[in-house]
Copies of this chain bind each other. A is one copy, B any other.
Amino acid sequence: MGLADRTPPTAEEYADYRKRFSNWGRWGSDDELGTLNFITPDVRRASAQLVREGRSISLARPLDTNLGPANPYPAHHFVPVDGSGGMADYFGMFIHGFTQTHIDALCHLADDSGEVFFNGKPFGAARIPRDLTGTIDFWRDGVVTRGVLYDIPRLRGVDYVAPGAPVHGWELEDAAAAQGVEPRSGDAVLIRSGFGPYYAATGETQAFGSVAGVHASCVEFLYEHDAALLCWDMQDAPIADQGIPNPLPYPVGLHVHHIVLPYMGLPIVDNADFEALASACAELGRWEFQLVVAPLVIPRGTGSPVNPLAVL
């Protein structure tokens, strides 16, 4: 089963993803780029050719300093009462989670052994890699490539991807066809589930983790098309919606995360906001553009807050 016959993986097939979609060793044992290796100078140059209207659109949500169901450890925006040498405002945040827009470095999640991450590099104490490897600072030169928006609600003719109906890999193919785009090596794959309309309609984000989102069946699509980066507005579909057991003893089943980060070596931008971009794409009749993601240079960081820009 799989993309070819439009069927989600069985538990066994999903278990096999760890081998089937692994890129360990593909770019050498000292590689720090993972699938960003697909972004060649040609890919970067071609992406710039997509800047036609001269519009730039943010894909970030505003920093959220208030507690919420999906924001259990909110960001900080402080001013000193006195002291601190007269410094102005202080900004701080936990890098991951389900609210702030951020990019995951390859060291963010361990493989199923819990002891190593991408390329077999040793995990360390406190969720930080033991050695200086796999961290966000290796991507300081940023991600500049073609971004393609896969607008699933548009494909389905609905407002948002509803709970119980996760995004499947073959829908990415359908969306590409409907939108007249050919997936290419080095693409940033932007999967829109419609978080904005979902939140507006339901008023809730319900618990830690997406309530709706992307099925593990999309992993095959990412691998087969040599995607360089995944960016989404709703993360991995909940466990029940995946129809396969939870790979790890966590309350949320990150079926996509746990394959693409530690095995495929593919960066993820979590918690994007695609609403303005989706409108612009629909208006212009094109779903490809230059995408720029510029992680902060945090030495040994497991990721970074980012404000991804789509330039059309």
Q: Among the listed B55, B67, B301, B307, which residue makes an inter-chain contact with A295, where contact means beta carbons less than 8 Å apart?
A: B307
Question: Which single residue of chain B is at the shortest CB-CB distance from A49?
Answer: B48
Question: Which single residue of chain B is at the shortest CB-CB distance from A137?
Answer: B62
How far does the Cβ of A57 sit from chain B's closest Cβ, in whole Å?
Answer: 6
**Binary B-proximity of A51-80 (CB < 8 A = 1, otherwise 0):** 111111110111111110000111011111
Question: Which single residue of chain B is at the shortest CB-CB distance from A309?
Answer: B142
A interface residue numbers (CB < 8 A to B): 40-45, 47-58, 60-67, 72-74, 76-85, 87-97, 101, 108, 124-128, 137, 140-142, 144, 290, 292-309, 311
The interface residues of chain B lying within 8 Å CB-to-CB of A96 are 87-88
What are the 6 A-B residue pairs with the smallest beta carbon separation, nearest first?
A: A92-B92, A65-B83, A41-B54, A48-B51, A125-B125, A78-B78
Q: Is the CB of A85 within 8 A of B61?
A: no
Q: Among the listed B61, B77, B97, which residue makes an inter-chain contact with A82, where contact means beta carbons less than 8 Å apart?
A: B77
The interface residues of chain B lying within 8 Å CB-to-CB of A67 are 67, 72-73, 85
How far does the Cβ of A292 sit from chain B's closest Cβ, in whole Å?
Answer: 5
